[in-house]
Structure 1
Amino acid sequence: MLPPLLSAETSDDTAAGQDPERALQDPGRADQDPRRADQALSVLVEVAGLAPWHRGNGIEPVRACEQRLRELFRRATAARREGPGVLEQVRREGRRLLVGHSAPESLEETFRALTVLLGTGSRASDSPEAVCRAADDLDALLRTPSRGGEAGFFSFSLASEIGLPALRAGRAAGRSETGARIDALLALVAGMGDERVHHAYGALAVRMLRQDARTVLAVGGSDTHAGRRLLADMDRSIGFYGIQPMSGTAALATVLFLERTTRPSSPADGGTP
């Protein structure tokens, strides 16, 4: 079942759950702010340029098809009104577009995560926890075999639980914004499974990525001399084996998008204020 976001306007009957496609098409919930699509594109560009394993090859493919990506993100915002079939079409078109421009594979996962977040119909009055619960439910619906879905994506809720506190802790510790974001990315790689990598390369590859990320964080993070050296070692290993962290990159995009589009958490939300 896919309950809609639990905002103040949500009725008791709807909150109790209903048919997933009817929940997405809830006429009582207004279309979300059209700027959300632009915010999603901005996050995709930032993550494309941030992840060390993209080796500077992430930005140009995204820039080359920026306008088309913006149009696809805007279509994703219609899922609340038109149903999850819109997201299936957007996902397929986005993948073809990014593959055609030789974008890093992890950006396909990042694009997909952002379309799911847009498809929840979230608003600024929603908490990160509510948005992630709705995204997890929507993602599960999209991954059903009847829809040709792919098994083994990541948990939006876990991304929020790990990534938001890590990002804020890095800033509070006085790290640069880039350093805080890279350290949040490493925390996500270290703390989350990656079933796409597991399926393609096996459990040992996932353990290697997680251990390398933990090692960088253990010496103080990517802003320290030792951390930069270990991050470079991690990047060389990733390049040698041809492995890219899929879930971690998409999860960082989730965190950055939530920061821009939701209200701060409160104790009542069950998250970290």
Structure 2
Amino acid sequence: MRALKLHELSLADRLADLAVDALIDEADLSPKPALVDRRGNGAHSDLHLGLMHASALSLWPMFKAMAEAALECGEVGVPLREALGRIGREGEQAMLVTTDGVNTHRGAIWALGLLTAAAALEPRALTLNAARLALLNDRYAPHAASHGALVAQRYGARGAREEAQLGFPSVMQRGLPQLRKSRQQNTGEQNARLDALLAIMTDLADTCVLYRAGLEGLQAMQLGAQAVLDAGGSATLAGRRQLQALDQQLLALNASPGGAADLLAACLFIDRLDGAL
């Protein structure tokens, strides 16, 4: 049997590929402060890089189904929103089977699921349509609040839902501009991606950090990330020293910026979208 050529892949296939690639690239990126990467499991006792890869791959059928649902519906509306909710819950169950019950990518399912569907509808209105979808209610969504939602309510933080409803400002106003700025400075792709992650961390009220370490952890994350960028970024010796200090501080607080990691994956997905399509 001859190999399948890239141009023979459907749009839904290609979008699912991009989403999974973004998740794998985020997991592989090193050294990320207190996050799973090629060095180890960061602040997580139940995660490792192989598990993150397996989790990402398990979500490929879900992303494809979300893109197909968007193409079938053809517009933003409650039918598409509820289809995405159902597909997302099924994808989460497939993920939990793969990871033996460990939550690896729940936040990424929300963010990348919306973006995958929005890209299938109209890539040029990507974040606008993702936001419009996020603003719609899903009648069939379970009422049990997530850790992120509870923390967002307790601290008045902008959780994953509001981040999407606002059109992913942490990505569009911080992550993507920093990614492209660092590339222009010829820092290398991995350093540019690290800088993008740090830029997201400087302003994000990361509910994962708040859940694990409260306001002390959030302040440590935001100020530490800004210190790396102020020192010249992750490509410089001074920046790497600040990055190492941030890593140690967050590990001591057991604070893992998982929300920022999910948004970095969204950033990488958006960055690749134009060229891929």
| TM class, shorter-length | 0.7 to 0.9
Deviation at 1:164, TM superposition (A): 1.4
The correspondence for 2:16, drawn from 37, 51, 65, is 37
Question: Which residue number in structure 1 is paired with residue 126 of structure 2?
Answer: 131
After TM superposition, give the deviation of residue 83 of structure 1 in Å. Answer: 2.1
- Distance in 1 separating the partners of 2:212 and 2:233: 28
Instruction: Report the Cα distance in structure 1 between the residues aligned to 2:223 and 2:139, rounded to whole angstroms.
Output: 32
Decide which moves more: 94-103 or 79-88.
Answer: 94-103
Give deviations 1:103-147, integer Å, cap 9, x for gaps: 985643223311111122446x633xx311221222233588965
**What is the identity, as a one-letter code, of the residue corresponding to 1:190?**
T
Greater shift, 142-151 or 175-184, is seen at: 142-151
The aligned amino acid for 1:141 is L
User: Are the counterparts in 1 of residues 229 and 239 from structure 2 also a CA contact under 8 Å?
Assistant: yes
Q: How far 1:223 moved relative to its partner?
A: 1.1
Give the distance between the partners of 1:228 and 1:77, measured in 2 at CA.
39
Q: 2:106 aligns with which of 105, 108, 119?
A: 108
Pair 1:72-2:62 in alignment: yes
8 Å contact from structure 1 (residues 61, 103) kept in 2: no
- Cα deviation for residue 178 of structure 1 reads 0.2
Aligned to 2:264: 252
- 1:89 matched to 2:86? The reply is yes
Gap change, CA 1:161 and 1:66, over 3 Å in 2: closer
Asked if structure 1 preserves the Cα contact closer than 8 Å seen for 2:84 and 2:113, the reply is: yes
**Matching of residues 13-32 of structure 1 within 5 Å:** 32=11
Asked if the contact 2:27–2:53 (Cα under 8 Å) also holds between the matched residues in 1, the reply is no
Structure 1 stretches lacking a partner, 5+ long: 1-30, 264-273
Question: Kindly tell me: are residues 85 and 134 of structure 1, through their superposed partners in 2, closer, same or farther at Cα, counting changes over 3 Å?
Answer: same
Matched, 1:54 2:36: yes
For 1:91, give the aligned amino acid: G
Letter in 1 for 2:133: L
**One-letter amino acid matched to 1:139:** A
Q: Match of 2:136, SS? A: helix
Q: d(CA) in 2 for partners of 1:104 and 1:244?
A: 15
1:232 aligned onto 2:244: yes
State the alpha-carbon separation in 2 of the partners of residues 88 and 116 from structure 1: 10
Question: Normalized against structure 1, the TM-score is what?
Answer: 0.72
Matched, 1:197 2:187: no
**TM score, norm. by length of structure 2:** 0.71
What is the CA–CA distance in structure 2 between the aligned matches of 1:230 and 1:106, rounded to whole Å?
27
Paired positions, count: 230
Equivalent residue in structure 1 for 2:198, among 170, 173, 186: 186
Q: In 2, distance between residues paired with 1:192 and 1:66?
A: 23
CA change 1:172–1:227 in 2 (3 A) is: same
- Counterpart of 2:219 in structure 1: which amino acid? R
Deviates more, 1:176-185 or 1:131-140: 131-140
Worse overlay, 200-209 or 213-222: 200-209
Shift of 1:66: 5.2
Instruction: Describe the superposition over 1:57-97 as per-residue Cα deviations: whole angstroms up to 9, x where unpaired.
Output: 45311333555321111112133236223322333344444
Contact 1:160 1:254 in 2 (8 A): no
Q: Deviations over 1:199-253 (max 9, x none)?
A: 5542232111101100111111111112212212212222222221133212211
CA shift digits 1:156-203 (9 cap, x unpaired): 431112111111100111101000000011001102222343355422
